[in-house]
């Protein structure tokens, strides 16, 4: 009678391209962005959104986010609203740090030859500046920002990344902290993983069918090593 193999066989790799959201997923920036939105709306005389209302729009393109967070601000004031948000954000951006564990997680994924990308609501200028001043320069194979393609939850930025690396939706994974991220993945036909430590409550993720909801970077790292 044959004996069972005592060595557990590692599961086959599921994904070739892994796209990460930026704020609230890799960077601990949710509280600062929320406060900057509130300050910007107050500066132009709008009704200041609650913490939950301001956090909800994180991940959208900037003007889309500000318009949603401040529906009583007239369109004519949008340029001023955007400028005031940028003013407050720049004053605080050096206080934003990577979540603990992000660098070793990305290093392990690179060593297993996954393609890594960023799909973010930030502007191209903002993302490039953040990459230059963080420890993440050179760690990603590609990126898309909301001002150079369609903003979330439109699937265009994911579709462009998949086309760039010739990876089909079935081999692509999107990781993010908001319903906008997970809805974008669903719209693109991709799998997703939610993280509960960012802008949106994890209870909101269920309808968007993520493969997993990670409650820390360590938890996410462990799941990716076993499942991605």
Structure tokens at 22: 């930026």
Residues of each domain in the chain carrying CATH 1.10.150: 30-95
Q: So what's the pLDDT on residue 51?
A: 95
Distance CA 46, CA 35 (A): 14
Homologous superfamily, domain 17-28+97-227: HAD superfamily/HAD-like (3.40.50.1000)
User: Which parts of 99-216 fold into alpha helices (H)?
Assistant: 102-111, 124-133, 156-165, 179-188
Encode burial over 150-174: b for 16+ CB neighbours within 10 A, e otherwise: ebbbbbebbbbbbeeeebeeebbbb
Q: So what's the pLDDT on residue 11?
A: 62
**Spatial strand order in the sheet of 115-120:** 142-145, 115-120, 17-20, 172-176, 191-195, 212-214
Residues of each domain in the chain carrying CATH 3.40.50.1000: 17-28+97-227
CATH top class, domain 30-95: mainly alpha
Q: So what's the pLDDT on residue 135?
A: 85
pTM, two decimals, is 0.86
Q: Please, what are the averages of pLDDT over each run of 10 residues along the chain (228 residues)?
A: 44 90 94 94 96 91 88 94 93 90 96 96 90 86 95 96 98 96 97 94 93 97 95
Q: So what's the pLDDT on residue 3?
A: 45
3-state secondary structure of 114: coil
């Amino acid at each position: 009678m044959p004996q069972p193999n005592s060595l557990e066989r590692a599961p086959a790799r599921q994904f070739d391209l892994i796209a990460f959201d930026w704020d609230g997923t890799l960077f601990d920036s949710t509280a600062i962005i929320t406060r900057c939105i509130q300050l910007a709306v107050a500066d132009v005389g709008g009704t200041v959104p609650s913490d939950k209302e301001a956090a909800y729009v994180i991940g959208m393109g900037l003007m889309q986010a500000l318009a949603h967070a401040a529906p009583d601000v007239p369109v004519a004031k949008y340029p001023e609203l955007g400028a005031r948000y940028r003013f407050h954000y720049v004053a605080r951006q050096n206080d934003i740090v990577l979540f603990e564990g992000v660098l070793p997680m990305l290093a392990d994924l690179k060593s297993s030859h996954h393609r890594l990308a960023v799909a973010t609501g930030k502007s191209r200028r903002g993302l490039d500046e953040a990459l230059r001043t963080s420890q993440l320069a050179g760690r990603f194979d590609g990126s898309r920002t909301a001002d150079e393609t369609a903003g979330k939850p439109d699937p265009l930025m994911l579709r462009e990344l998949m086309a760039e690396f010739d990876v089909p939706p079935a081999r692509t994974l999107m990781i993010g902290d908001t319903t906008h991220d997970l809805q974008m993945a669903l719209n693109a036909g991709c799998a997703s993983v939610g993280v509960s430590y960012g802008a949106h409550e994890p209870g909101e993720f269920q309808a968007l069918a993520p493969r997993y909801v990670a409650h820390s970077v360590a938890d996410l790292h462990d799941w990716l090593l076993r499942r991605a």
